[in-house]
């Protein structure tokens, strides 16, 4: 029944659902930059990546590609009424700062910027010495 489907889509944050606050996840690897936007409960609202924006090969790992991916992911948010967001950055890639700058320039109020890049405290055990 269409009424039931409409009710379920509104519960899941369907097309008409308004999202006042969200979390923007930036995953910046050396080969690609993926920007995922979720609501506060963790359900994905929109996403974009440098590869999805049409960049191929070595161009995916550029800061410009990361900026384009961030702008594409945020474009749908502004239509849905998101005004405040937290940003979580992961990874050592070249596009992390540029993606963050693109989010700052979009007009969203950022309440928190968190870097959760995993850092080794002492790393893995090195291989044993070579015997010649």
Q: pTM here?
A: 0.81
What average pLDDT does this structure show over 2-12? 54
**DSSP secondary-structure letter at 129?**
P
- The helix, strand and coil proportions of the chain, stated in percent and rounded to the nearest 5, come to 30, 25, 40
3-state secondary structure of 24: strand
CATH superfamily of 27-115: Ribosomal protein S11/S14 (3.30.420.80)
- Confidence category of residue 94, pLDDT binned at 50, 70, 90: very high
Q: What's the chain's average pLDDT?
A: 89
The residues, ordered by sequence, that sit 6+ positions from 121 with a Cβ below 8 Å of its Cβ are none
What's the pLDDT score for residue 10?
56
């Amino acid at each position: 029944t269409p009424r039931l489907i409409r009710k379920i889509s509104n519960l899941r944050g369907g097309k008409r659902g308004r999202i006042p606050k969200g979390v923007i996840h930036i995953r910046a690897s050396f080969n690609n930059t993926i920007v995922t936007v979720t609501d506060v409960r963790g359900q994905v609202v929109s996403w974009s990546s440098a590869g999805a924006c049409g960049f191929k090969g070595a161009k995916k790992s550029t800061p410009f590609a990361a900026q384009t991916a961030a702008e594409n992911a945020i474009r749908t948010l502004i239509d849905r009424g998101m005004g405040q967001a937290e940003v979580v950055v992961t990874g050592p890639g070249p596009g992390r700062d540029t993606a963050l700058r693109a989010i700052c320039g979009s007009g969203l109020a950022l309440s928190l910027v968190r870097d959760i890049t995993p850092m080794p405290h002492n790393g893995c055990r090195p291989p044993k010495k070579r015997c010649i």
